[in-house]
Amino acid sequence: LNYTEPYRPQYHFSPNKGWMNDPTGLLYHDGTYHLFFQYNPGGIEWGNMSWGHATSEDLTHWEEQPVAFLARGYPNNVTEMFFTGSAVADVNNTSGFGVDGKIPLVAMYTSMYPLSQTLPSGKEVLAEQQSQSIAYSLDNGKTWTTYDAANPVIHNPPTPYEMEYENFRDPFVFWHGETQKWIAVTALSKIYKLLIWTSTNLKDWSVLSEFGPKNAVGGVWECPNLFPLPLSSNDSDNKQITKWVMVLGLNPGGPPGTIGSGTQYFIGDFDGTTFTPDSGSVYPGNETANWLDWGPDFYAAASFNGLPAGERVNLAWMNNWQYGAAIPTDPWRSAMSIPRRLSLEMVNEKVTLLQRPHENLQSIMGHSDVSHSWNTVSEGSVDLGSLGKAFHVSLSFADHDSDSSRASEFAIAVRGSFDFEQQTLVGYNFTSKEVFVDRRVSGDVAFDGTFGSIYHTALAADCDGRVDLRIFVDWSSVEVLGGKGEVSLTSQIFPDGDSTHARLVSVEGSTGDVDIRVNGVASVWE
């Protein structure tokens, strides 16, 4: 593949051509990671929604596969679009779709019907209706058969929500070991509710409970994910506690300082029927939320089914509905974030969802191109030379209380032009104790009035008084993971091709105990 167009991500997945939005149907099965994605095979704007497909053995090298579900009737007479959903391996063949001992992979997705019609199953749907359907594959995800005999398997929203049939979507299905049943979570987007469903065979579903509205309720609620994670504890008795995490997207209504879409989560318990958030995870009113990412470009986060118990890896659409269709890329639009490993830990006495870069990324990182320590970086800047366009930075430094000789801010400028008139700043404000990403002069920002902004979130120093930042830079993105992964800030940038310069900047004073390590990241497309 010749992935050298301007802004083409070198180690993030992007479709060869065409529009992409949500990751969907993430599944690890039989040694292969499957990434499906909302896809328009006919253009670089949203439309003709189909499921594109890519596979990987290691979560870093992806191979694009033929479209898994092509919008029915594409291109001239689309009668069904395949919206976001999820996928499972039905290892016990509860669905009966398996033949000759082959394990069926089953996808559950939202059917969006642009026109009212009577379906092959005899069911009738209204124009713009959203219902939940299933399909199966007997060749490890290569080809799929929609279950036309009975689709949609969840035809209408339950009483009293029948009127919400145009905003009823994004089933996330998983096997619940304790009750030996399938569970699915769907969104009633306009009324900020999630519904939890159960089934023994993936075909017949009944509703169990509902969740929401809680915390942030801007725009619509979409793309729920529900999964268990062990809570790492330092307790001497070492007893293992499992908590459940509910992740969902909001559009618009992302974190403070962003415009457009964003992702929030809740931590709580799930007993097979009801998700009950911990009191520490819910805030009065609808203003505060637990944000999974504080940047503008991390939406429709989804996690892989099929990993060993206790493991979760997620990734998200690295774009934003505010300007998604205006970003200056061609002949594709949008990329996925890096894969991140999720864990739950106590941070400042609060159960917190951590995101760490997946360890496989190590395999595409080069040796340390720059590795340096300073006792003190004085006021001003330290030139780091050219770092290229795709690299990883590990940066740490001492936090300090501001006194007159100490800096007010410390930052690294990446993807800078020779004169740093163009740059993206990733840094820390010692007064507000916030990490920030400033993309105001990051390159092409003109395609949307809200794009050139600063994003920030609180990050406390670790117990040694240090601030740790891991920064993943690609040809058109910057992902910052702070601390142990308790904060994440994901942003697209569109710098000039020759903006490869970097420097450290200590503002209004000096910064102590600075360590930096930079690794080039290899293209995964060569």
Among 80, 164, 170, 297, binds ligand FRU (CB under 6 A): 170
324 SS3 class: helix
**The amino acid at 35:** L
Among 195, 202, 223, 353, binds ligand FRU (CB under 6 A): 223
Min. distance of Cβ 208 from ligand FRU in angstroms? 21
Instruction: For residue 341, give the nearest of 359, 361, 328 by alpha carbon.
Output: 359
Spatial separation of the C-alpha atoms in residues 345 and 472, rounded to whole Å: 23
Residues in the chain: 526
Is-contact 144 69, C-beta < 8 A? Answer: yes
Is 83 a binding residue for ligand FRU by CB under 6 A? The answer is: yes
CB count within 10 Å of CB 394 equals 15
Residue 11 φ/ψ region, left for φ over 0, alpha for ψ in the -120 to 50 degree band, beta for the rest? alpha
Report the Cα–Cα distance between both ends of the chain, in Å, rounded: 6
- Helix ranges, 246-317 (H): none
Min. distance of Cβ 201 from ligand FRU in angstroms? 24
Q: Which is nearer to ligand FRU, 84 or 290 (CB)?
A: 84
Residue 22 designated active-site? yes
> Site residues for ligand FRU, window 351-390 (CB under 6 A)?
none
Instruction: For residue 316, give the nearest of 294, 287, 345 by alpha carbon.
Output: 294
Please list the residues that pair with 105 across neighbouring strands: 89, 137
Burial of 367 (0-12, 13-18, 19+ CB in 10 A): exposed
Q: Which is nearer to ligand FRU, 61 or 190 (CB)?
A: 190
Is-contact 212 221, C-beta < 8 A? Answer: yes
> Site residues for ligand FRU, window 462-521 (CB under 6 A)?
none
Q: Which is nearer to ligand FRU, 49 or 289 (CB)?
A: 49
Q: Which is nearer to ligand FRU, 141 or 171 (CB)?
A: 171
Min. distance of Cβ 110 from ligand FRU in angstroms? 5
Q: Which is nearer to ligand FRU, 211 or 430 (CB)?
A: 211
Q: Which is nearer to ligand FRU, 86 or 510 (CB)?
A: 86
Q: Under 8 Å CB-to-CB from 98, ≥6 apart: which residues?
A: 90, 104, 138
475 SS3 class: coil
> 290-329 mask for ligand FRU (x: CB under 6 A)?
----------x-----------------------------
Min. distance of Cβ 99 from ligand FRU in angstroms? 30
Burial of 9 (0-12, 13-18, 19+ CB in 10 A): buried
Q: Which is nearer to ligand FRU, 141 or 249 (CB)?
A: 249
Q: In degrees rounded to 5, what are phi and psi of residue 363?
A: -70, -15
Q: Position of tokens 């930079």?
A: 518
Q: How many residues of this chain bind ligand FRU (CB under 6 A)?
A: 12
Q: Which is nearer to ligand FRU, 190 or 356 (CB)?
A: 190
Please list the residues that pair with 385 across neighbouring strands: 502
Query: Which tokens hold the place of 218?
Result: 């801007």
Q: In degrees rounded to 5, what are phi and psi of residue 40?
A: -110, 105
Spatial separation of the C-alpha atoms in residues 150 and 119, rounded to whole Å: 9
Q: Which is nearer to ligand FRU, 83 or 266 (CB)?
A: 83
CB count within 10 Å of CB 261 equals 27
Min. distance of Cβ 169 from ligand FRU in angstroms? 5
Min. distance of Cβ 360 from ligand FRU in angstroms? 26
Is-contact 34 94, C-beta < 8 A? Answer: no
Min. distance of Cβ 481 from ligand FRU in angstroms? 23
Min. distance of Cβ 22 from ligand FRU in angstroms? 5
Spatial separation of the C-alpha atoms in residues 142 and 380, rounded to whole Å: 56
Q: Which is nearer to ligand FRU, 71 or 105 (CB)?
A: 71
Min. distance of Cβ 189 from ligand FRU in angstroms? 7
**The amino acid at 44:** I
**The amino acid at 263:** T
Is 392 a binding residue for ligand FRU by CB under 6 A? The answer is: no
> Site residues for ligand FRU, window 23-52 (CB under 6 A)?
38, 49
Among 169, 214, 340, 456, binds ligand FRU (CB under 6 A): 169
The sheet with strand 129-137 has its strands ordered as 81-89, 105-113, 129-137, 145-146
Is 22 a binding residue for ligand FRU by CB under 6 A? The answer is: yes
> 111-150 mask for ligand FRU (x: CB under 6 A)?
----------------------------------------
Is-contact 83 169, C-beta < 8 A? Answer: yes
Min. distance of Cβ 20 from ligand FRU in angstroms? 10
Q: Which of 22, 90, 399, 474 is catalytic?
A: 22
Q: Estimate to the nearest angstrom the gap between the alpha carbon of 184 and the chain centroid.
A: 19
Among 80, 90, 222, 293, binds ligand FRU (CB under 6 A): 222
Spatial separation of the C-alpha atoms in residues 464 and 427, rounded to whole Å: 19
Give the interface with ligand FRU as residue ranges (CB under 6 A): 21-22, 38, 49, 83-84, 110, 169-170, 222-223, 300
Residues catalogued as catalytic = 22
